[in-house]
Every structure is written in C-alpha cells, then in structure tokens.
C-alpha cells in the first residue's frame, strides 16, 4: 500500500492542504517539494511509494519532473495535480507515465479516490506478478521432484530453458 507520499506544489497552502487530507486518512507525507527540480531530488532521496505533483511549478515544471523521475524509476507512481483548462498538459502527463490526475480546486474525497485507485492498481499488479512467480516455481518444483536449483529460483524458469535469463547459467 502506498503509505509514504511525496507532495510537490509551489504553493505552500496547497501542500499543507494535501498533507492534511493524507495524514488524516492514515498516509504519511514523507516529504514536500516546492518545484520540479526539488521534486526529482526528493524522490531520489526518499524513494516514496507515491508522488502527488502539481503540473505548473517554477524552475522545472511537473511534467519535466515526472519524466526525470520515470527515467530513474520506471515504476514510479505519480498523480498529477492541474488547474482547470490544462487538458493538453494532463494528456501529456498521462502519456509521460502519470497514473492519474486531480483537477484543482479539488475535494478531499477526490484526492483519496485517486490515491486509492493508484494503490489498488499497484497492489493488483503485484498480486498477479507474485501469483505468476508462485505458479511457475511450483510447477518447476513439481517437475523436478521437489528440488529447485538456484538458477530456477533466480530466473523462475526450469534449468536449461533459454529465454534470456541474466543469471549466467543459460
């Protein structure tokens, strides 16, 4: 679950408002940033579970910051915050990897809905991944009479299968 959240907005009042909504609902605000450059710096420092980022900020806008964050961590979960009338920027941010967006002025329930939606999607993907790994490992273990080699654990494939495994043993 996305518990540690980085809040990025150039307006201190907006950061305070978002922080209040999140903390009252069990989330931890791991850090805050007042511009895109600080957002990238804080993301790399704190490695939060989720980022809430304003689109229009000084020094580096939210879309540029989103792209930099996604370069260093393709799995980063970012929700963009935009003002009314920024549809083109919202579309660009979604195309750049944002998971959702919130339109200002926003209501607390919409912020929480976006966080929950992104979190639920992430948890579902993690569940599907872990289920696939378990199923694969179980079938390998069953075929090999209960023995699973280090290679099979590292790669999730039976010994001898060629599929681009980087463990070095195939």
- How crowded is residue 101: how many other Cβ atoms within 10 Å of its Cβ? 19
- pLDDT tens track for 36-73: 999 999 999 999 999 999 999 989 999 999 999 999 99
Structure tokens at 78: 């970012």
The phi and psi torsions of 146 (rounded to 5 degrees) equal 105, -5
pLDDT above 70: percentage of residues in the chain: 68
Please say if the pLDDT value at position 164 is more than 50: no
Helix (H, G, I), strand (E, B), or coil: what is residue 72? helix
Helix (H, G, I), strand (E, B), or coil: what is residue 69? helix
Burial class (CB in 10 A: 0-12, 13-18, 19+), 156: middle
């Amino acid at each position: 679950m996305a518990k540690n959240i980085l809040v990025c907005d150039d307006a201190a009042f907006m950061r305070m408002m978002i922080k209040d909504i999140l903390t009252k609902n069990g989330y931890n605000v791991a850090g805050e940033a007042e511009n895109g450059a600080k957002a990238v710096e804080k993301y790399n420092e704190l490695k939060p579970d989720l980022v809430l980022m304003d689109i229009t900020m000084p020094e580096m806008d939210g879309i540029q910051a989103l792209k930099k964050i996604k370069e260093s961590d393709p799995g980063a979960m970012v929700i963009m915050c935009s003002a009314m009338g920024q549809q083109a920027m919202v579309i660009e941010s979604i195309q750049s990897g944002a998971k959702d967006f919130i339109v200002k002025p926003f209501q607390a329930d919409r912020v929480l809905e976006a966080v929950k939606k992104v979190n639920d999607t992430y948890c579902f993907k993690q569940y599907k991944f872990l289920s696939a790994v378990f199923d694969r490992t179980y079938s390998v273990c069953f075929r090999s009479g209960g023995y699973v080699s280090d290679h099979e654990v590292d790669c999730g494939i039976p010994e001898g299968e060629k599929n681009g495994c980087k463990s070095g043993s195939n």
